[in-house]
Amino acid sequence: MELNSYMSYMKKIMLLVICTSLGAEMLPENGAMLNYTQVFFRWDQIPSAESYQFTLQNMATGEELELNVLENSVLQTDFMDWNSTYTWFICALFGDGETPFCSEIYSFDVNPLPDYFPDDINVSNYDETIYQDGVTIMDFESLNFSGGLDRDGNPIWFVGNENFEERFVFTQFLKNGNMVGFGPGKGYEIDLDGNIIFETPAGINSVHHHITKTSNNTYFLISATVEDQYCPEECNDMLPDEIPWQGDIFREIDHDGDEIWSWNTFDYYDLTEYNPYYVEIYNGNLEMDWTHSNSVFYDDNSQSVFVSIRNLSRITKIDYASKEIIWNMGETDFMNEIYFEEDLNFSQQHSVQVLDNGNLLFFDNHRYLNPELSRCIEVEYDEDAHSVSIVWEHELPLELFSGSRGECDRLDNGNTLITVGRTGNTLEVTSDNEVVWHLEVENSGFDVTMYRSERIPNLHPIAYSVTLANYTGEIENSYVAPENDILEATIHNNSWGDGWHIYTLLYNDVEIVSDNIFINPFENSTFNIDLSTFAINSGSILTLEIYPENAPEKIQSVDFSIYSSVLLGDLNNDGTWNILDIVILANLILAGDSSNPAGDLNNDGLQNILDIVLLINIILDGL
């Protein structure tokens, strides 16, 4: 383009140029100490970068991993080892052959496994064609900690006891990447690093067996309660007329620890409904173990709460709104009002869940029955017809009988994960009862007991980064030049999680745009914001904030220093070209200061004598 034509063209162009720096943290943080080997890496977007070379190195062995990626993030699940130090850096690659820009070198450590980690872990019957791939999170209850194993039994994650009074017993993996569990008397939500996000208040100090978090961000839990009641006829003659009964209160509390719902077994079960066995073995020490509840499940579809009462071999469905009992299912010898006539012959069950099809799935310990063969059963019921039936079951062999603990989980591929309580075994079975994965865990020759386990694809259901389109300039003076005043941003989802992400644009700390976008697993999603509709003053600060709806604490933000409707060459933003602009530009060039994007008249990413020549000719052409 000839100079005069170029100057004429320049007079007509009004650009919206945004100087910016990404506010995302570098992940993992420099010097981090990790208790897991699946690591999410994220870094700042580099101006004009078309791709990145990601380099990760084990400092002790020298083993190196190099990846070329298009986004400013990567999830690495199979390179890290325990008790190792790693360094990593990225190099931005440019399409015009420009010398790559490389970041500083960052480092982190993967901690050694604790001494109390099980010393004997074996996997057998593994069929990769029908196994649900992923990480199995479980509690190693007899060893007082929780951890995660891959399909080969290799440790992937653990949480120690340092942050808890005694231990953390895992009960639930959340979509925000946190975990729920309990210790003696306490319920917790923790992050992957073991930091306590939520702890039950001091007024609830008898949490046991189960705590779970709902999609409403509330927690359901079981806490013990004791009342003095009559001594039934099966009591030892040496006992008084009244003895302490231990029942349970099922509670729902919010994130502030305030109770919003509760249900006390003493208020809704008749005291004639008891198991004589626990009266007969009561000797006056402590309390008579009346209910011994072990799970609570809130079903949003039916607005009901399902509870498992182990010592009555009973499952109760409770209407959430009225708190009235809809039905009881189980051992009718301890039941005054019988709703289902069919005898499913289960006993001392654990971990009742509601499946997507409305059926119940639970672990039938089958204790005190003949023969004592534990099993996992799926139960279908019809409330109108008062009928119930077993539609699927997997009976375990005699050597895997577990008198207590245990859980069954239905996996995404239709298989079922069975935690066999006291035996140290966890199995994955198909709907045809074929065992396709069998885990056995021992320590010092003894079976490791477990309450529950859960299979997840990997440790990171939320692993995303954000980039802005037309992001250019220098590292120290980067900016975005939106096309047609449209700010374009892309969320790069490296994870298996999905859900709504909220994005908000702030101007002078005041929200001017707020919307959401649904993010699918392992996909990139782009959204646009029209900036032309806002009267934004030159030099103002904008902030773009993005966070997952179910994890607002994992927010990412981009700050903008904006020069609105800037005329190239108008260095003082007074709406015209004159000698003052030449003086300002000359001083900026002499000072090596390229912070004012209006000075780059030929759009070559530099400010030098060529820009001064263009500016002089523009002024002369306008006289």
> What is the mean predicted confidence (pLDDT) over 454-481?
87
> What is the mean predicted confidence (pLDDT) over 564-588?
80
Amino acid present at 417: L
> What is the mean predicted confidence (pLDDT) over 208-216?
97
pLDDT value of position 490: 96
Report the first-to-last Cα separation within the chain, whole angstroms.
22
**DSSP E strand stretches across 62-199:** 64-69, 73-76, 84-93, 101-102, 106-110, 120-124, 135-140, 145-149, 155-159, 169-173, 179-183, 186-190, 196-199
Q: Which long-range contacts (CB under 8 A, 24 or more apart) does 62-69 make?
A: 68/93
Asked which of 76-85, 95-104, 310-319 is least confident by mean pLDDT, the reply is 95-104
What rounded mean pLDDT belongs to the chain? 91
Dist CA 583 CA 189 (whole Å): 61
pLDDT value of position 414: 98
β 242-253/288-289 pair status: parallel
Dist CA 175 CA 455 (whole Å): 13
pLDDT tens-digit series, residues 463-475: 999 999 988 877 7
pLDDT tens-digit series, residues 403-440: 999 999 999 999 999 999 999 999 999 999 999 999 99
State yes or no: pLDDT of 531 exceeds 80: yes
Which band of pLDDT confidence, cut at 50, 70 and 90, is reported for residue 299?
very high
Residue 585, classed as helix, strand or coil, is helix
How many Å is the Cα radius of gyration of the chain?
Answer: 32
pLDDT value of position 560: 65
Dist CA 454 CA 426 (whole Å): 10
State yes or no: pLDDT of 567 exceeds 80: no
State yes or no: pLDDT of 37 exceeds 90: yes
pLDDT value of position 598: 79
Selected from 1.10.150.120, 2.60.40.10, 3.40.1120.10, 1.10.1330.10, the CATH number assigned to the domain covering 567-622 reads 1.10.1330.10
CA 216 → CA 201, 212, 220, 299, 364, distances in Å? Answer: 19, 11, 11, 11, 29
> What single-letter DSSP state applies at residue 36?
B
Residue ranges, CATH 2.60.40.10, the chain: 3-111+461-564
Q: Which distant-in-sequence residues (6+ apart) come within 8 Å of 91 by Cβ?
A: 52, 53, 55, 100, 101, 102, 103
β 446-447/453-456 pair status: unpaired
Residue ranges, CATH 1.10.1330.10, the chain: 567-622
Q: What is 3-111+461-564's CATH number?
A: 2.60.40.10
